[in-house]
Amino acid sequence: MDINTWVTVGTSAVAVVGTLAGTLLAGWMNSRTSRAAQVLADAKARRGEVVSSVAALVAALDDHRRAQMIRAKGMARTLAATGDVATADEQYTPAVHQTRSAVSGPSVTLRIICPELAEAAEQAVRATFAIRDAENLTEAERLRLQSKLVCDALVAEASQLLAHSAWPGSVQPVP
């Protein structure tokens, strides 16, 4: 074999190895890019779920807070007019029960998909449900305002969590 044959064989071998190396590198880069895109898509989906769940819970708590205040005001009027507590409570209880049960779904969903917000969500629920135990209209109003503040704190905590986590828009390394 002469030198030209060896050069041809060597050149061909280098070309094959280069092609294989390029293919492996391209495959690795494609895999990494796909993984990064999937992480971003998953983070966007989770962010959307958390935002929707917080919004649904806060809306349900707002509805329940409103129903509790309507109940408290109606009971005060009925009690003043008739003196009958049972009649007053009976008139407004179904609406309060309906709004109270509407809180369960968003509350459970939020605690499952974002355990970091579970305590804040539970505090918001407890603060809103506490309105029912008010002794008078003044206390009900105070508890209503407290409930609103606790719900605002839940929203603020969710906002902070989403702003400082591995969500789209934040700089995080790709695994």
Q: Higher-confidence residue: 50 or 164?
A: 50
In a domain, 3, yes or no: no
Cite the DSSP H helix spans in the chain: 3-82, 85-113, 118-129, 137-163
**Structural domain count, the chain:** 1
d(CA 144, CA 130): 9
pLDDT digits (tens, 9 = 90+) for 54-85: 999 999 999 999 999 988 888 888 777 877 76
pLDDT at 95 over 90: no
- Mean of all residue pLDDT scores within the chain: 85
Residue 58, Cβ neighbours under 10 Å: how many? 21
Which of the 8 DSSP states describes residue 168? T
103 part of a folded domain: yes
Q: Looking at residue 72, what is its pLDDT?
A: 86
Whether residue 11 is contained in a domain is answered as: no
Give the domain extent around 111.
44-163
Instruction: Give pLDDT, residue 168.
Output: 46
> Is the residue at 137 inside a domain?
yes
Percent of the chain beyond pLDDT 90? 43
Number of Cβ within a 10 Å radius of residue 71? 22
Higher pLDDT, 175 or 47: 47
